[in-house]
Amino acid sequence: MTAAPVNARTLVTVSGAEVRVPHPHHLVHLQFRRFAGCPVCNLHLRSIVNRLADIEAAGIREVVVFHSSAEALRPYTSDLPLDVVPDPGRALYREFGVESGPRALLDPRAWPTIVRAVGHELRAVRRGRPAPPAHPEGGRLGLPADFLIAPDGRVLAGKRGVHADDQWSVDELLALVPTRHAG
């Protein structure tokens, strides 16, 4: 992870809203996920949504980046109360050193979550949610990553995943918050 501060920028979400990174008043949890409709990503993001009140109380703003277009993301993210940013050209992925590779799916540590996530998606599809794409834009082999960014642009913590289910849990994220930002 680089010690250089994150350059200020404005990102555009799938809904057309603008979000500043770093944010002048909040910590930013910049999440890099995989593709639109990714079952593992969807399962993880539901855990974030379930604890969003705790996350916001800690002074954190969630910004979630996918290597898919806004059009591909909308059917899967329209009900998420998160800032979801499309990055089909992977510019942010390159800048933050977020990779892809076969180990995303081949690592046995990801398999239990993959099975659970696929089961969750099958139930969601039966309730009318679109099925994950057979050939996702940008491929299936993206790796997740998480960065906690201070208002001054310093990266307080970061994690580049080594398999599809290797990201911070909400408890791990909250444990990283400096006490002056909490509450």
- Tell me what pLDDT residue 181 has: 56
Question: Would you say residue 183 lies in a domain?
Answer: no
Region 60-75: what's the mean pLDDT? 95
Question: Would you say residue 169 lies in a domain?
Answer: yes
Region 89-105: what's the mean pLDDT? 85
Cis peptide before 132 (omega within 30 of 0): no
The range of the structural domain enclosing residue 123 comes to 9-175
SS (H, E, C) 133-155: CCCCCCCCCECCEEEEECCCCCE
State the pTM of this model: 0.85
Region 44-54: what's the mean pLDDT? 95
**Confidence check: pLDDT of 39 > 80:** yes
- Tell me what pLDDT residue 1 has: 47
What total of structural domains would you count in the chain?
1
Angle, CA 67 vertex, CA 163 and CA 98 arms, to 5°: 45
**Confidence check: pLDDT of 119 > 70:** yes
What span, in angstroms and rounded, lies between the C-alpha atoms of 142 and 139? 7
Question: Would you say residue 180 lies in a domain?
Answer: no
